[in-house]
Structures are given as structure tokens and as C-alpha cells.
Amino acid sequence: MKKVALFAGSFDPLTNGHIDTIQRGLRVFDEIIVAVSTNTSKKSLFNGEERFELIQSVLKDLTSVKVVKHSGGLTVDMAKDYHCHALLRGVRNVKDFEYEESIALLNKTQHPELETVILMASAEYRFLSSSLIKEVAMFGGDVSKLLPPAINQAVIEKYKQ
Ligand code: ADP
């Protein structure tokens, strides 16, 4: 049976750390569905549509990865709809762990059969977060080593506006 995982997030923007988690996730799962949250209540740099399109184009060569828009409902319900066996998450540090642990336990109350599989962030990406990228890029800092080229370009253009 094909093992499918749902990797949900806001990805504002998608970083090399997220891509690393997706690529490593593909060693464990046959397919990963990346669900891009289009929730606009969180102040985001890119709107949902922009993020969805950017991520789709950046990940287009990963044949076992499908990019979809988050339903806006519960992630566990979405996982069920897409016949996923697990939720994929990444953790960088203790703060992430505490957050992910609560979410994973809460999700179990909603959908007990669905597992959460957490990958430890690779050492070189442990410091990397979308919010820190924005803080540096906002002041013209070079984040090109931390983002896929198309996303880096989009970030530069966004801050020019
Ligand atoms: P959310 O809004 O759900 O926190 P994010 O886009 O910030 O969405 O993150 C999605 C997932 O990717 C989370 O599990 C997060 O811990 C993980 N993640 C974020 N940055 C990294 C990184 N540098 N390395 C590995 N995993 C990461």
C-alpha cells in the first residue's frame, strides 16, 4: 500500500529547511501532499494564492509531491480526505517540540489512526525559519542561500513594492 503523508504549513515563504524536510520525508513516504495554508488571519508576506503558485512551481520536479491548498478546516480531516497515513512535521528545537507535541496529541483525539511523524531538522537548517527570513530580507539582507532561487527573487520583489 502506498504510504502518503500530509505536510501542512503556512510556508510564508517556503525555505530550504521545508524542502529538506519534504525530501527526507520522501525516504519514509511514497508520496507527500504539501498543504499550503491560505489562512489570511495571520499577517503574511505572500497571500495564499501567491504562496500556492510559488510552491507549486518550485516543487514541480518532485514527482511524488503534490501541492494543494489547505482546506481551511481541520488538518486531520484534510488528511482523511486525501487518504493520508500520517502528518509530517519538522522540529528545530525544544520550542518547536513542545508546540508539535501538543498539536500531535490534540490531533490524536480527533483522528486516532492518524500518526504524526516528526523529522528532526537537519543541523544546517536548525536556525532557519520563515519569520527570520522576513526580518532579514525586509532590511535588504541576502537570504539567497536559504531559499530556492524563485522564492528568493519573489521575496526581493515583494520588499521592493
Ligand atoms: P506553521 O504555520 O504550521 O508553523 P511553517 O511553514 O512555519 O508552518 O512550518 C511548517 C512545518 O515545517 C512545521 O512542522 C515546522 O516545524 C517545519 N519547519 C519549519 N522550518 C523548518 C526548518 N528549517 N527545518 C525543518 N523543518 C522546518
Could you list the mean pLDDT of each consecutive 10-residue stretch along the chain, which spans 161 residues? Answer: 96 98 98 90 86 97 97 95 98 97 98 97 97 96 98 96 79
Catalytic residue among 92, 108, 111, 158: 92
- pLDDT of amino acid 43: 80
Which residues share a beta bridge with 33? 6, 66
Q: At what angle do helices 149-160 and 130-138 cross, to 10 degrees?
A: 50
Burial (0-12, 13-18, 19+ Cβ within 10 Å), 142: exposed
Q: Which pTM was predicted?
A: 0.95
> 3-class DSSP state for residue 30?
coil
Residue 24 designated active-site: no
Extract the C-alpha cell encoding 79. 488528511
Q: Is 126 annotated as a binding residue?
A: yes
The three cell numbers of residue 107 are: 490531533
pLDDT number for residue 42: 61
Q: Is the CB of 21 under 6 A from ligand 1?
A: yes
Q: To the nearest 10°, report the CA torsion of 18, 24, 25, 28.
A: -170
Ligand 1 proximity of 9 Cβ (cutoff 6 Å): yes
Pair 94, 126: CB distance under 8 Å: no
Do 12 and 45 contact (CB within 8 A), yes or no?
A: yes
List strands edge to edge, sheet with 115-120: 65-69, 31-36, 4-9, 86-91, 115-120
User: Does the structural domain 4-126 have CATH classification 3.40.50.620?
Assistant: yes
- Determine the pLDDT at residue 161: 79
CA distance 104 to 9: 14
